[in-house]
Amino acid sequence: MTDKKTISDWEKLATRELKTEPETLTWHTPEGIDVKPLYTESDTENLGHLGSLPGLSPFTRGPRATMYAGRPWTIRQYAGFSTAEESNAFYRKALAGGQKGLSVAFDLATHRGYDSDHPRVTGDVGKAGVAIDSVEDMKILFDRIPLEEMSVSMTMNGAVIPILANFIVAGEEQGVSRAELSGTIQNDILKEFMVRNTYIYPPEASMRIVADIIEFTAREMPKFNSISISGYHMQEAGATLVQELAFTLADGREYVRAAIAKGLDIDEFAGRLSFFFAIGMNFFMEAAKLRAARLLWSRIMEEFNPKKASSSMLRTHCQTSGVSLQEQDPYNNIIRTAYEAMSAALGGTQSLHTNSFDEAIALPTEFSARIARNTQLILQHETGVTKVVDPLAGSYYVESLTSELAEKAWALIEEVETLGGMTAAIETGLPKRLIEEAATRRQAAVDRGEEVIVGVNKYRLDEEADIETLDIDNNAVREGQVRRLEKTRQLRDTARWAEAIDSLKTVARSGEGNLLASAVEAARARATVGEISDAMRESFGDHTAVPEVVTDIYGPASENDPEYQVLVSRLKMQIGKTGKKPKILVAKLGQDGHDRGAKVIASAFGDIGFDVLAGPLFQTPDEAADLAIGRGVDVIGVSSLAAGHKTLMPELVDALKAKGADHIIVVCGGVIPRKDYQFLQDHGVSAIFGPGTNVVDAARAVLDLTEGRLRNE
């Protein structure tokens, strides 16, 4: 034990080096944790989780006794784009290159339960994932991939019923029974209502879907994980690590209660629950977060009195952060991803996806995907990290962080409980509001340079070199999907199809029976993803969120920034001349529900002094044009994160022209490759703001555009 005299000697030495007290080095994290410059044995005194061993309750040190010393984590790269044929070829190359499991990314049309020929999804088909319309697509997706041997993870929540049904039938027609299928379906709808927004139905109906899938898989698919409870998208939306931890585990508790309400015994399904966390750049805290997650989940499960130890184990997949990736100096992203991967491994993840360095710009290329995969192979085979179980155990710093994260997350979990659980908390808007406030606060810190991002707000290159990016011909993919849809509908037994769809409608309407079991019969009869989704829409309806924007976060955080003050003064001068604030519609087009960027811009622009209208999600360009005209806006700012900009932006500009409103300025921001800038400008977009754009710079550019328009009028 380090005695007080020795610590006092250190403090004197540190004070001489710093010429001030060492407390000035304390780091105040967004989680509200004060990280000291020195940790000693005294910081780990009386920590309840110390002394536990891997594989034993409360599993802080890992769910398996030998962890990676016995078997390394699964390399499970998340991928999917364009057509089922192209994604299948990509998967087979990845598996040949050392990948051990599949993780399927679906396009946004599929996520939202639309077939590729639906008029609302013209810009989304095949762009941010693979387009799947029926069993025929699913069979092609897994062609020459033995499903009895391959674990398949599917990130799907909104259209989870038709996608899982199609997967089951595709397996059957490959000769693999449902009992032999292994993998995970995300099936985590609560987080969709908080952050990612690829929902379809209202919360109550959505929770019924979750419970039906847990019930069906528990009894029919013993190797399959019925749910992947995701914090990943919370952190990507701006959540602190405490918020990600607390809300994810609170979601898990809610799903357990829903399954028990279906009549399931806790030990019948709990062992097949899994989790999914983001791993960002706070290296040690991310590792501690995974350790704290296992500790807290074991505590939560005690209330359900499981008999099996496996029912209390938290198993998790992790993915390196997308938000930490930057458009500027993009090869830095390789380094960021490697550090995040190491953190996940030291925290004890069961499987891992490493992002490709170009994902802040476009879809990954084969070249960038290979680097991402090899990052994990090198980590497993060359660093020695797999040789020792939980190598960070006993670290004064990490053990202290583990305890503090657990304590703060538990307090937030208890706050959720006082509101009636996670479903009730979501209805109050609390989780969403807290996450959006955290996102806006962080953006202000980045813009002020208080949080350093190398190559973005410090050490910037004078000139950026172009890199090769992947471009998907959206129109060609959609045309191919439409042809296959038409063929599928022509060849199916119409009477059998109608009977299966009617049966599904009855199950949805009556509340009796299992939705997934009924959907499997519909998929076998070649009902499409859209048709199965619509059959449930008849009874459940669509969920529509009311856009809300947090205020007084960005402004107060930036009030001492001279550039911010100059901008605010300029805006006030324009308002004085015109008698009104310049009005901007912050719009989301297509089926992209990722709204972190849109919400941050809306919040910050409002604090700066613009009149901000936050548009609803999932608008068509025509609907956005009508809203802009009806509300008399000066500028439409479109947030695009799903690669649909080359289709949707020209459609918006054309719609404004057709309606006699081409005076409205159109700008866009988000994940847009620089090589597309000229195309967008040629099609009437006045300004493009890529990832990492300083909000003050963006607001200044928009103000310049509105002033220029006024001068020309």
Distance CA 84, CA 143 (A): 9
CA-based end-to-end distance of the chain: 76
CB 396 within 8 Å of CB 43: yes
Distance CA 337, CA 323 (A): 11
| Beta carbons within 10 angstroms of residue 663's beta carbon | 10
Which of 248, 205, 254, 192 lies closest to 545 in space, CA to CA? Answer: 192
Distance CA 247, CA 251 (A): 6
- Give one DSSP letter per residue of 297-330, joined into a string: HHHHHGGG--SSGGGG---EEEEE-STT--SSST
Distance CA 585, CA 178 (A): 48
List C-alpha distances in Å: 476 to 471, 652, 676.
12, 21, 18
- Give one DSSP letter per residue of 206-229, joined into a string: HHHHHHHHHHHHHHH-TTEE-EEE
Look-up of token digits 């949805």: 508
Instruction: State whether residue 386 is helix, strand or coil.
Output: coil
Distance CA 322, CA 232 (A): 10
Distance CA 557, CA 292 (A): 30
- 3-state class percentages of the chain: helix first, strand second, coil last, to nearest 5: 55, 10, 35
Residues catalogued as catalytic:
78, 232-233, 588, 592, 594
Burial class of residue 581 (count of CB atoms within 10 Å of its CB; 0-12, 13-18, 19+): middle
CB 58 within 8 Å of CB 80: no
Estimate to the nearest angstrom the gap between the alpha carbon of 120 and the chain centroid. Answer: 23
Look-up of token digits 């192979």: 377
**Buried/exposed 147-174: b ≥16 CB within 10 Å, e otherwise:** beebbbbbbbbbbbbbbbbbbbbbbbeb
